[in-house]
A and B are shown apart, each in its own frame.
Chain A
Amino acid sequence: MKENIVIIGGGIAGLESAARLIDLGYKPIIIEKSDHLGGHVADWNCLFPDMTPAREVVNRLIVSSADANIFLNTEISFVNKLKDSYNIMLSNGISIITKIILFTTGFSVFDASKKEEYGYGIYDQVITNRDLEHWFNTGDDKRVNNCGMNAVGFVHCVGSRDEKARNPQCSKVCCITAVKQAIELKQKFPEAMVYCFYMDLRMFGKKYEDFYIGAQRDYGIRFIRGRVSEVSENIDGRVIVKAEDTLSGKPVKVTLDLLVLMAGMVCNSDSTKVAGMVGLPLDSDGFLKSKDNVADIIDSPREGIFYAGACTGPKTVPETLAEARAAALKIHLFIKSLQ
């Protein structure tokens, strides 16, 4: 059990892989660039489709991976390829020789201020899906007006399915996230009108369609089929949203107290940077390229380098965890094959 296993990224993918490798008798090393474990899920409040508290999921993973060697606030400075292994230099001065690297570097949330027409960072009443999760967790956000919440809108596909934002991909999780967050806001502000501006609704997962039906029937959330073209502010600081209601073929306009942009999932530049150090290719969607997108999603094209989670594309929590377990098993079998 002497092989070093280096896991880059301490999000849920990294933690779950580490926990399973520990079960198999190894002592993996987790390199996490931020000051905490859990990645994005540590910032979320409740998870679709069962409203599981995100904190519980993350805490459970932190406990089960506690025996790993964990370096927080640490980045990869460079990687040298040796004959049959890699020499990884960390930003804290430690160097590690390893034959096995697992990328669990995850994704980035699209920077919504790049879509200027939606006014993020310009108008006070415009926030993102991430900001809303933060507000659910902390109740702390000046932009969310606690008292006068009469109308709220959600804009789907912000920075996704958009060639102008250089991301033609669908981010997959934001439709269901919008439905979830719309319901949560309606629960907090029962009097408010809640609108979702969508182009297509992608309810692909287990129980998602039920969630959508519930949003319509039980919460009266209004789904408007049209892409928001422009957001402006009126004198009293509310925002005016314009779109085409494509089902009636007429322009629509609505005044809102809060507009939530469903920023998409894009490839994380810290992920591609390290991938570049070991010569890993990127796929056409900008995420790390798997050996095969059907049969070998967790294999990289290079021997000894594996992937799990959102570093290869948008994924949900259960999908990420399943890949993380599969990667642990793959690594175990790979180490066996070396002996």
Chain B
Amino acid sequence: MDFGFKISPSSAVNLDNVNVEKFEQLHSVEPDVYKCMACGSCSSTCPANRFSGMSMRKVILALQRGKEKEAISMMRNCMLCGKCSMVCPRGINTRHLILSISRIYKEDGK
């Protein structure tokens, strides 16, 4: 039946439909990625955050929620300065993680 308008697709995260294959691939080369406790230290020190919204915390979360496009487009603003790695209290080498993400997810984004 056509009501003459469309309901926009649900923005809910349906974990049943999230494809975790790539994230598992990432996890196997970057085991520390699961250590993130979402503290936000990386985002608040990131020089790209203020003008572009780049946030390592959000990238890690988005990838785990199947929002790969969102993650990749945020990462385009990263300058690989490594400030986030210096502050991460969980000792995650976030700069290295960014490089691994780019490698594993490259065909989707760039």
Contacts and interface: CB of A to CB of B under 8 A. Distances in A.
B50 interface: yes
Q: Select the residue from B38, B39, B43, B87 with max chain A CB neighbours within 10 A.
A: B39
A165 B87 CA distance: 11
Interface string B23-42: 00000000000000111110
Contact of A244 (B37, B44, B90): B44
A163 B90 contact: yes
Contact of A243 (B40, B50, B55, B88): B40
Interface string B96-108: 0000000000000
A229 interface: yes
A244 B91 contact: no
Contacts of A291: none
B109 interface: no
Contacts of B87: 117, 164, 229
A226 B90 CA distance: 14
A225 B50 CA distance: 18
A226 to B, nearest CB: 4
Contacts of A244: 40-41, 43-44, 49, 55, 57
Chain B interface extent, by class: 10 to 19
A246 B57 CA distance: 9
Contacts of A199: 37-39
Nearest to B92: A163
A161 interface: yes
A30 B37 CA distance: 43
17 contacts: A164-B87, A199-B38, A199-B39, A226-B39, A227-B89, A229-B41, A229-B44, A230-B45, A242-B44, A243-B40, A244-B41, A244-B44, A244-B57, A246-B38, A246-B40, A249-B55, A249-B58
Given A163-B91, A242-B44, 5 more contacts: A230-B45, A244-B43, A244-B55, A246-B38, A246-B40
